[in-house]
Amino acid sequence: MNITGSVNAIKGGEFLVRETEADSIFIPEEWNEEQLMIAETCTNFLAQHVTPNLTRIDEQEEGLMPHLMEEAGALGLLGISIPEEYGGFGKDFTTSMLVTEKLGAGNSFSVAFSAHTGIGTLPILYYGNAEQKQKYIPKLASGEWKGAYCLTEPGAGSDANSGKARAKLSADGKHYLITGQKMWITNAGFADIFTVFAKIDDDENLSAFIVEKNFEGLSLNPEEHKMGIKGSSTRQVFFNDCKVPVENLLSERQNGFKIAVNILNLGRIKLGGGTVGASKEVITMAVRYANEREQFGRAISKYGAIRHKLAQQAIRTYGSESAIYRASQNMEEATEQFVASGMDEIKAKLKGTEQFAIEAALIKVHASETLDYVVDEGVQIYGGMGYSAEAPMDRAYRDSRINRIFEGTNEINRMLMVDMMLKRALKGELDLMGPAQAVAGELTSIPDFAAAEEEGLFSKEKKYIKGFKKAILMVAGAAVQKLMTQLGKEQEVLMCLADMLMELYVSESTQLRVEKLVGMRGEEACKEQLDIMRVYINDAAENILKSGKEAINSFADGDEKRMMLMGLKRFTKTEDINTIQARRNIAAKLITENKYCF
Amino acid sequence: MSVIVLVEHTEGNIKKKSFEAVQYAAHIAQQTGTTATAVVLGSIADAEMEALGNYGAKKVVHIADDRFNELHARAYTSALIKVAQAGESKIIVTLYDINGRAVAPRVAVQLKAGIVAGALSYPDIDNGFVIKKAVFSGKAFAFVNVVSDKKVIMLMPNTFPLVKTDGKASIEKLDISFTEKDFGIKVTAVNKVVGEIPLSDATLVVSGGRGMKGPENWGLIENLAKELGAATACSRPVADAHWRPHHEHVGQTGGTVRPDLYIAVGISGAIQHLAGVNGSKTIVVINTDPEAPFFKAANYGVVGDAMTVLPRLTEAVKKFKQHK
Amino acid sequence: MKILVCISQVPDTTTKIILNPNATAINKEGTTYVINPYDEWYALIRAIELKESGIATEIHLITVGKAEVEPIIRKALSLGGDEAIRIDAESIDPYQTAAYIADYAKSVGYDLVLCGKESIDYNNGTTGVILAEMLDLDYIGFATSIKIEGNSAIVNREIEGGEETDSCKLPVVIACQKGVAEARIPNMRGIMAARTRPLKVVTPSAVSPLTEILSYELPLAKSGVKMVSPDNMDELVELLHSEAKVI
């Protein structure tokens, strides 16, 4: 396999064909004192202002959510990564991710927070001109004004560019008149500023506009009744010849779709951060409950079936988290490189994020599905109380579900991952062909059994991960060859490839994180993390094998199929480990610490 | 060489916990081969002070200056130092309460004595001068060795049961001169809760939490407290919601109680609350939620609604008292 | 007016206390440390309020400890305070702590010294009084509100069975509890400023402690709760009388 030892920083998607050094990734154990203080402020904010009020929030008590946003603004939490000249604190991307993670445990508040600081603020910050930024950003950063984002329409969800909203210039040329209907608009009920997407006249692409709530022609429907995140304001917003001054066109005409896509890239990885924060909180609740609840005379945390669940919740969360901070730092570094090469800072930020859009999509899917797993088992650990609306698991369970739907459904994101990967290969940005051919060659050659086994704490896992990469290259390469242009329509195959990519990235991120951590703290202090890594990779191998088989069986046959299946088995072969014991060790640590502690 | 013990009184009535302190000092005196001398400050009748003999004081030193009726810690300190120096005392005992805590450390500095704050045991004098005390808000105990020649001990109230003897004490009047500094703090207003049992001194406490649903239901708590002769207390959320005055709040950030009996009604038992009550000898928890963590710290538990359980319990106490 | 706020580092309330094998020390592994809540929520915040209202001109924070206590010092600075002093010493007992602080305080001269009513680790509540005695100052404990009027402190404080209002000339040492102020959460501005505020490290002249902790013991687990039916309160009363012997 052709793995280049280039000194260049890793590019987005390159994880499939390149090895990464553990020392080059960022791990959450490296937070500095200031970042830890910021995290503590977030945790205290939730504990004092949000958690005690969750019921009132879910009842949408008049004025409560905007008030909480203002409180968060007063603490500076709405302006973490906004430049200081616009009233923010100019912190880097990983710090804002940390804040997103910590506040992610705040149920509906988290949704309002993320929408405001992400899609509510960033389009103006990244694409606004100096006047627009000066006018809107400081007030958004302080929480005086709240932001919302109007993209989705009743007939245009995943296919955003197909929206019907239209804008036309007024007779005097001073206003755009927007007409249309926007749906599922988070924060709509109390937002002061809406970023609205509509096509001007018969344009092919969307344009974006900054619309203030008092502009003539804007009206709101009542609150939607939702399964979860009931405290989050979600309404339809109507634009009826809504008068928007021409100077409120955001960026250039027809640039709206690009804005929407780029903001979504950021939104996806941020959603990953938020859901990891929620997962950790739910695990903590589950551990505490399991330690308190007694059945047959013993705390239920003493039973293996419960321990398995607790460990599995933690393993998956740890995996998501490792991936998120690795990718966040990659984005940060890519941005810095673009800036160093003379690019404008905000443009560099967008490019840096876009560069890692594959990872962002993958993280969104993994972390949201992890949270859904965590809350589901959380309910199970709570038993009957889990089903009671009086206990907190009920809310956690319902609130989790939306994460697999918004910011691009997980299906859309799975397809995007593979699509972007292949497109980059086609454009020559990513060399998949060479490595894929090398793997194909390896299939027909006799395996080199004599090759010396490397010794070392992580040598096995590193070998497995190399195998995972080969497995994906083999299946993807064959799929492209076999299905050619049909591949885009074979969504089931795309789903399989996406799942394989996801397992690879999270396995590798987890392995690198634990390797770096052992370097920092020594092996003895990282026993449970090593178990987490081993179990994760063990299960990932099985998942990759399963997805790979499913894909191969759909498009290959005869000798070729047999050969590929054999190769797949070889590339996903791992030594048997005692996963039951490993999970017990992980659970024991959770139970002793009485909280999520990794 | 006698052991000196500071006695507190409320308007001439010696507090029960001060008898405990005297009895404690007398025990240490016996351990160290000397006698206990009680120091009483302010306006009080001789007859009341004589009772100190019943708990082991051999001598009572009374300084009658009525300025002592208020806590003037530096004047108290001067008085104790004076008596200690006259008797070449090496051990001074006070209570671990508001007054003791204002005075004992000052005395300790002047004598260059190590302090034990909140003693739960007699000193182990075979291994130095080692006394047990609670640390980490009752989550552990520490064995503190006083290495200095002189020692100051603040006894935790309600630690040792009182045993009355027919011992007698001689009363000695003392006059001492003070400096202006001794009365530097001017008390401009006093607001004592009259008629109620001060929470910190109470041996029986009935305490209500959020499970009481609202201040309008507090009559149920008060009725039970009245029937038992108990003080009333509450948890933090209750005080924060202004259902009850803040001085009733017990827990990490509120007051600490160590009664013989603590009845917790509708309190879940967060660790912060337990920190304020885990010195209680017996804990009864009444809660609708059988999973409430407080049951783990309780001696007796009742799963039930306070609105129905409290009147029944009050009735049962009434019946019990009538039969006795 | 210059205020000195004494802060100490303590294990978080929810920390589970684990002893080392021979029970001579607390196992520090995995312990989360915080500023003693009484110092932070009440003493420090009140000092900050006094500065915000223009009464105080300068706030100094002081603590005794080795370098590992610096995170809590900066946490305190993130709430407010102009300068922090760390007395570079491992303190064994309150006498030693107070002596180190007294030594430094004398060299600067403060109009008001604030501390918490006690620390939640050793629950002594003696450091502030010892400090007052060493500085030859008045001391007001269990304060529930503090006002400064001219050259005097007007303090409400808890007394046995109630509350009183004291008036006292500055300088004075006041130990704070609930009521004095409301806890705050450090904001971003404060957190970022904390790094830029001076943190002075002072090597003290040696003072010997007067007490030492020889060992620790954990409380015996409750032997288990005895459940009584809500329909049978007579039984509960009987148990309290004849078994627990408390009524």
Do residues A324 and A367 lie in contact, with contact meaning Cβ atoms separated by under 8 Å? yes
CATH number, domain containing residue A313: 1.20.140.10
Q: Which residues on neighbouring strands pair with residue B193, listed in sequence order?
A: none
Amino acid letter at B141?
F
Look over chain B and give the mean of its residue pLDDT values, rounded to a whole number: 93
- Does pLDDT of A6 surpass 50? no
- pLDDT 10s digits, B111-162: 999 999 999 999 999 999 999 999 999 999 999 999 999 999 999 999 999 9
Pairing of strands B114-119, B151-155: parallel
Domain for residue A18, yes or no? no
- What is the total count of domains within chain A? 4
B144 vs C17, C179, C211: nearest CB: C211
Distance from CA of C224 to the nearest CA of A (A): 11
Domain boundary among A129, A145, A161: A145
Residue labelled with tokens 């001598």: B59
Helix H, strand E, coil C: the string for A199-259 is: EECCCCCCEEEEEECCCCCEEECCCCCCCCCCCCCEEEEEEEEEEEEHHHEECCCCCHHHH
Interface probe, candidates B299, B312, B315, B321, chain C, greatest C C-beta count within 10 A: B299
pLDDT category of residue A274 using cuts at 50, 70 and 90: very high
Q: Output the pLDDT for position A1.
A: 39
Structural domain of A237: 148-255
Q: Please check whether residues A264 and A384 belong to one and the same domain.
A: yes
- pLDDT 10s digits, A138-173: 999 999 999 999 999 988 877 878 889 999 999 999
Average pLDDT of the segment spanning B151-180? 94
As a whole number of angstroms, the distance between CA A235 and CA A184 comes to 6
Determine contact: A292 vs chain B, CB below 8 A: yes
Domain for residue A8, yes or no? no
Q: Please check whether residues A119 and A203 belong to one and the same domain.
A: no
Interface probe, candidates B13, B91, B101, chain C, greatest C C-beta count within 10 A: B101
Q: Please check whether residues A210 and A160 belong to one and the same domain.
A: yes
Reading the block at residue A60, the tokens are 């949408």
Secondary element (H or E) of residue B160: none
Catalytic positions of A = 407
Domain for residue A42, yes or no? yes
**What is the torsion angle, in degrees rounded to the nearest 10, for the CA atoms of residue A354, residue A356, residue A359 and residue A361?**
0
Do residues A510 and A533 lie in contact, with contact meaning Cβ atoms separated by under 8 Å? yes
CATH number given to B3-183: 3.40.50.620
Average pLDDT of the segment spanning A349-366? 95
- Indicate the range of A45-54, A444-453, B250-259 predicted with least confidence: A444-453
As a whole number of angstroms, the distance between CA A18 and CA A14 comes to 6
- Please identify among residues 47-86 of chain C the ones whose CB lies closer than 8 Å to any CB of chain B: none
- pLDDT 10s digits, A64-84: 999 999 999 999 999 999 999
CATH number, domain containing residue A50: 1.10.540.10
Q: Output the pLDDT for position B11.
A: 87
- Please identify among residues 81-110 of chain A the ones whose CB lies closer than 8 Å to any CB of chain C: 89
What letter would DSSP give residue A454? Answer: P
Pairwise CB contact (< 8 Å): A41 & C75: no
Q: Please check whether residues A262 and A403 belong to one and the same domain.
A: yes
Domain for residue A1, yes or no? no
Pairwise CB contact (< 8 Å): A34 & C195: yes
Domain for residue A17, yes or no? no
- pLDDT 10s digits, A7-40: 467 899 999 999 999 999 999 999 999 999 999 9
Determine contact: C75 vs chain A, CB below 8 A: yes
- Does pLDDT of A487 surpass 90? no
Do residues A268 and A360 lie in contact, with contact meaning Cβ atoms separated by under 8 Å? yes
For residue A589, the chain C residue with the least C-alpha distance is C30
Long-range contacts of C147-154 (CB under 8 A, 24+ apart): C148/C1, C148/C50, C148/C55, C148/C56, C148/C112, C153/C112, C154/B188
For residue A78, the chain C residue with the least C-alpha distance is C188
Q: Please check whether residues A480 and A360 belong to one and the same domain.
A: no
pLDDT category of residue A3 using cuts at 50, 70 and 90: very low
Domain-by-domain residue ranges, chain B?
3-183, 199-323
Q: Please check whether residues A235 and A262 belong to one and the same domain.
A: no
Rg value, chain C, Cα: 21
Q: Please check whether residues A487 and A528 belong to one and the same domain.
A: yes
For residue C161, the chain B residue with the least C-alpha distance is B198
Q: Please check whether residues A345 and A273 belong to one and the same domain.
A: yes
Q: Output the pLDDT for position A448.
A: 65
Average pLDDT of the segment spanning C11-31? 88
Rg value, chain B, Cα: 21
Interface probe, candidates C34, C185, C189, C199, chain A, greatest A C-beta count within 10 A: C185
Look over chain A and give the mean of its residue pLDDT values, rounded to a whole number: 93
User: Where do runs of H (alpha helix) occur along A17-129?
Assistant: 33-45, 54-58, 64-74, 93-103, 108-117, 122-127
For residue A84, the chain C residue with the least C-alpha distance is C189
Look over chain C and give the mean of its residue pLDDT values, rounded to a whole number: 94
Pairwise CB contact (< 8 Å): C210 & B108: yes
- pLDDT 10s digits, B50-64: 999 999 999 999 999
Q: Please check whether residues A399 and A268 belong to one and the same domain.
A: yes
C-contacting chains (≥3 CB pairs under 8 Å): A, B
- Does pLDDT of C196 surpass 90? yes
Q: Which residues of B touch C130 (CB under 8 A)?
A: 105-106, 108-109
Distance from CA of B292 to the nearest CA of A (A): 9
Distance from CA of C180 to the nearest CA of A (A): 19
As a whole number of angstroms, the distance between CA A16 and CA C38 comes to 54
Reading the block at residue A421, the tokens are 């990967």
Average pLDDT of the segment spanning A322-342? 95
Distance from CA of C174 to the nearest CA of A (A): 27
Q: Output the pLDDT for position A54.
A: 94
- pLDDT 10s digits, A279-294: 999 999 999 999 988 8
- Indicate the range of A167-181, A428-442, A490-504, B196-210 predicted with least confidence: B196-210
ipTM exceeding the 0.85 mark: yes
Do residues A278 and A104 lie in contact, with contact meaning Cβ atoms separated by under 8 Å? yes
Q: Please check whether residues A251 and A261 belong to one and the same domain.
A: no
Pairwise CB contact (< 8 Å): C216 & B191: no
Do residues B296 and B269 lie in contact, with contact meaning Cβ atoms separated by under 8 Å? yes
Hey, which CATH number is domain B199-323, 3.40.50.1220, 3.90.180.10, 1.20.1260.10, 1.10.1740.10? 3.40.50.1220
For residue C30, the chain A residue with the least C-alpha distance is A593
Mind listing the domains of chain C with CATH numbers?
Answer: 2-212 (3.40.50.620)
Amino acid letter at C162?
G
pLDDT category of residue A248 using cuts at 50, 70 and 90: very high
Q: Please check whether residues A35 and A48 belong to one and the same domain.
A: yes
